[in-house]
Structure 1
Amino acid sequence: MPDGFPTPSILNRLDLKTLRLFAAICEEGTLNGAARRAAIAPSAVSKRLAELEGVLGCTLLTREPRGMRPTPAGETLLHHTRRMLASAEQISLELAEHARGVRGFVRVLANLSAIVQFLPEDLQAFLAVQPGIRVDLEERPSGGVVAGVEEGVADLGLCAGGTDARSLRSYPYRRDRLVLVMPADHPLARREAVAFVETLAHDHVGMHRESSIYMTLRDEARRLGQPLRLRIHVPSFDAICRMAQAGMGLGVVPAHVHALLGPQMHLVAVPLTDAWSYRSLSLVVRPGALPPAAGLLLEHLRTGP
């Protein structure tokens, strides 16, 4: 084993209680704060920290006037500790569910387009025939979906079709089309369809900076050599529609989102004519065999409408 790396025997001496105390020190900034959180004496926390640094052979925290701060080694340990503690908590929850008759869990990461447009009905249909399976769904931007599945945070992911799947296997899921949403009195509202370049003379409301829709609009505006007149970033499709309703600017959303939200807000949808407005969504999974429950869900999503 190279110098400076913990040997397996050292790793075997780490325990969750000590790691939880270490995370508490980092988050509270003091030994006393960590001691209050753990309901033990500060001297016991100090002893645990000294033992942990002794086991790992490096300094994990430095004292500063405003409290304790992790060293670079401490930051590395804190990153992995948080993941370990989250996994341990998830193990406890899932085993408790198994004791109540649950037959399996599937962890899913998905972008907002998939969650809003297609997953509610798809998951409802899946769970109707597989009532013993629990699905844990989390929203992330498409790049974060790929990264999370690669890291093992989730069993499968749903992302924009143009996303680099890196080491993952990718399967087609659904297709959608982007439209402009606006109040009925907007200058473009009476058009049957509009090219994106024509919208650049008007204000826009955009999704958050990591969303695939925002990055597409930004890159296309740059390609056209014109600025994207973005008045505000918002975190969700309903927020885009609400801002468009208030006259803050044009919104770009999938057509199905307008069908769900637009009519009650009295918003008009005008299709974009650009080729990139026709989009695909993809399923991504790690290579190799999936857990049985995840395999069932993947098959269900791949054979859906």
Structure 2
Amino acid sequence: MRFDLTDLKLFLRVAESGSITAGAETVHLALASASARIRGMEEMLGVPLLKRNRRGVEPTDAGRTLLHHARAITQQMEKMRADMGEYASGLKGHIHLLCNTSALTEFLPDILAEFMASHPQVNVDLEERPSHEIVQAIRDQLGDIGIVTDAVDSSGLETRLFREDRLVLALSPLHPLARSLKRRSVVPFAEVLENDFIGLAGDSALQQYISEHASRLGQRLHYRVLVRSFDAICRMVASGAGIAVVPESAVLRSRDASTIRHIHLSDAWSRRKLLLCMRRYANLPGYARELADALVNS
């Protein structure tokens, strides 16, 4: 059995992207050449490595095993490149960072901007996913570093505290709900579910998280409008258009903070910690360890 590094990198990128075309482009191969290499790997092993469907491809059980080894081998190569970086020129490192909505919008931009300015040879591939998907992706070696909530099972991974991230109810002081709550500083989520909400548009990991907790209470949230950012949510809330559940940090930094009332939720799931997770810190390439340190110590 002989696979070269191009084969392994190709298979890794195809599995990550769910597309042979996208994987081929990443490693600079023509589609026909990439398809031939995948077929050759399958013929050599005598088993299919990918399941083809209308949406693209995904690894078979055998493919996931190969993916595990391909990831380990390419990571070791990246680690070698990083460790030799001071002796070589023109080499670039690549870090695949997976995070949830709160980390992406509230905490990462400034940290990443500073890190990338001081590491011009390193590229960071930033991807938003729900926390449970991030944990599985890190276990499957489909990402280098993840940022997840402490509500998910991260057993088998190394974790470090990244941030406290409490979710709060945000509303205008003139909203009818604000008047009914009067001076209460804490409220159960179940008590506010009948109101119109403002939420995040698109496939937001945080929106999925909040909707799941509403479903557990036998309710479905009614969104009056969906917008693209926490800033936009806060502007809509301040106008009295609806209420929202958002990170407390988003309210405090909002330009409309003075016209928004935020109330803590009594539900345990609202008191979240964001954790950095990785398979093994010591096995990360040097530049990825530096990013992990920057995230934890910032």
Q: TM-score under structure 1 normalisation?
A: 0.61
Give, in angstroms, the shift of residue 114 of structure 1.
0.9
Alignment of 1:195-274 (within 5 A): 195=187, 196-207=189-200, 211-212=205-206, 214-216=208-210, 218-219=212-213, 222-223=216-217, 228-230=221-223, 236-238=229-231, 240-241=233-234, 244=237, 249-261=242-254, 263=256, 268-274=260-266
What secondary structure does 2:176 align onto? coil
**Which structure would you say has the larger Rg?**
1
- In 1: Cα distance, 2:143 partner to 2:112 partner: 16
1:112 aligns with 2:105: no
Alignment of 1:10-21 (within 5 A): none
**Which AA in structure 1 matches 2:119?**
P
- Cα 1:60–1:121 shift into 2, 3 Å: closer
Q: For the Cα contact (< 8 Å) 2:230–2:250, is it kept in 1?
A: yes
- Cα 1:201–1:301 shift into 2, 3 Å: same
**Which AA in structure 1 matches 2:291?**
L
Give, in angstroms, the shift of residue 167 of structure 1.
2.1
- Cα 1:296–1:184 shift into 2, 3 Å: same
- Cα 1:280–1:57 shift into 2, 3 Å: closer
**Which AA in structure 2 matches 1:269?**
R
Number of aligned positions between the proteins:
264
- In 2: Cα distance, 1:213 partner to 1:250 partner: 14
Give, in angstroms, the shift of residue 206 of structure 1.
4.2
Q: For the Cα contact (< 8 Å) 2:238–2:260, is it kept in 1?
A: no
- In 2: Cα distance, 1:39 partner to 1:165 partner: 37
Runs of 5+ in structure 2 lacking a partner? 22-29
2:131 is matched with which residue: 142, 148, 158? 142
- In 1: Cα distance, 2:132 partner to 2:239 partner: 31
1:181 is matched with which residue: 155, 170, 182? 170
What secondary structure does 2:213 align onto? helix
More divergent stretch after superposition (50-59 vs 160-169): 50-59
Percent of paired sites with the same residue: 33
Alignment deviations for residues 218-271 of structure 1 (CA, whole Å, 9 cap, x no partner) = 436635x6654455666653564466467653211112212344519x862322
- Cα 1:45–1:131 shift into 2, 3 Å: closer
RMSD: 5.0
- In 2: Cα distance, 1:51 partner to 1:273 partner: 56
- In 2: Cα distance, 1:175 partner to 1:160 partner: 9
1:303 aligns with 2:297: yes
Q: For the Cα contact (< 8 Å) 1:102–1:132, is it kept in 2?
A: no
1:279 is matched with which residue: 272, 292, 296? 272
Spell out structure 1 runs of 4+ moving beyond 6 A: 44-54, 58-61, 79-84, 232-235
- In 1: Cα distance, 2:38 partner to 2:287 partner: 40
- In 2: Cα distance, 1:235 partner to 1:197 partner: 25
- Cα 1:295–1:187 shift into 2, 3 Å: same
Q: For the Cα contact (< 8 Å) 2:98–2:145, is it kept in 1?
A: yes
What secondary structure does 1:119 align onto? helix
Q: TM-score under structure 2 normalisation?
A: 0.63
Runs of 5+ in structure 1 lacking a partner? 1-7, 29-37, 62-68
Q: For the Cα contact (< 8 Å) 1:209–1:215, is it kept in 2?
A: no
- Cα 1:213–1:262 shift into 2, 3 Å: farther
- In 2: Cα distance, 1:39 partner to 1:164 partner: 38
